[in-house]
C-alpha cells in the first residue's frame, strides 16, 4: 500500500507518495495527478511528487514466507533496493528549487527484469 508525507507550512509544502504494486501504482498515480491539478487550480504552491520503487528489501518477505531463511533466499537473486535508496530519492525531491516540481521517480534495481 502507499503512504503520504506532507512537509512544509501553509501554502508551500510537498506531498510525497511512495507506493508499490502494479494496479495500486496506476491508481495512486491517477489520484496524485488529480491532487496536483486541484492544487494548481486553487493557486497553491504545494508540490506533489510520487516515488515508485521496484524490488525493495523489507521485512515483508520474512512475514510472507514465515521464515528468515526464505526471506534471505528471496533477496539473494540479485542486489535489490534498500530503504536508504528510497530515502535518497526523498532527499532529492526536497532539495530541488522552489520553482521546480518532480512529478514521478521510478527506481528499480538494475537486475530487476520488469
| Digit-coded pLDDT (tens) for 86-98 | 999 999 999 999 8
In sequence order, the 6+-apart residues with CB closer than 8 A to the CB of 81 are 53, 54, 55, 56, 57, 107, 108, 109
- 113, part of any domain: no
Q: All 3 cell numbers of residue 65?
A: 514466507
Structural domain harbouring 79: 3-107
- 93, part of any domain: yes
- 46, part of any domain: yes
- 65, part of any domain: yes
- 90, part of any domain: yes
Q: All 3 cell numbers of residue 62?
A: 520474512
Q: Where are the alpha helices (DSSP H) in the chain?
A: 22-41, 60-65, 68-74, 83-95
Average confidence (pLDDT) over 1-28? 57
User: Is 48 in a helix, a strand, or coil?
Assistant: strand
| Digit-coded pLDDT (tens) for 45-98 | 889 888 888 888 888 888 888 888 888 888 888 999 999 999 999 999 999 998
Amino acid at each position: 500500500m502507499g503512504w503520504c508525507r506532507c512537509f512544509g507550512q501553509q501554502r508551500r509544502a510537498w506531498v510525497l507518495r511512495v507506493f508499490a504494486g502494479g494496479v495500486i501504482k496506476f491508481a495512486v498515480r491517477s489520484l496524485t495527478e488529480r491532487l496536483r491539478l486541484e492544487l494548481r487550480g486553487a493557486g497553491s504552491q504545494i508540490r506533489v511528487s510520487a516515488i515508485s520503487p521496484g524490488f525493495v528489501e523489507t521485512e515483508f518477505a520474512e512475514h510472507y514466507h514465515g521464515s528468515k531463511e526464505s526471506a534471505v533466499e528471496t533477496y539473494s537473486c540479485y542486489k535489490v533496493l534498500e530503504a536508504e535508496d528510497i530515502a535518497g530519492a526523498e532527499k532529492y525531491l526536497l532539495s530541488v528549487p522552489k520553482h521546480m516540481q518532480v512529478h514521478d521517480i521510478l527506481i528499480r534495481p538494475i537486475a530487476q527484469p520488469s
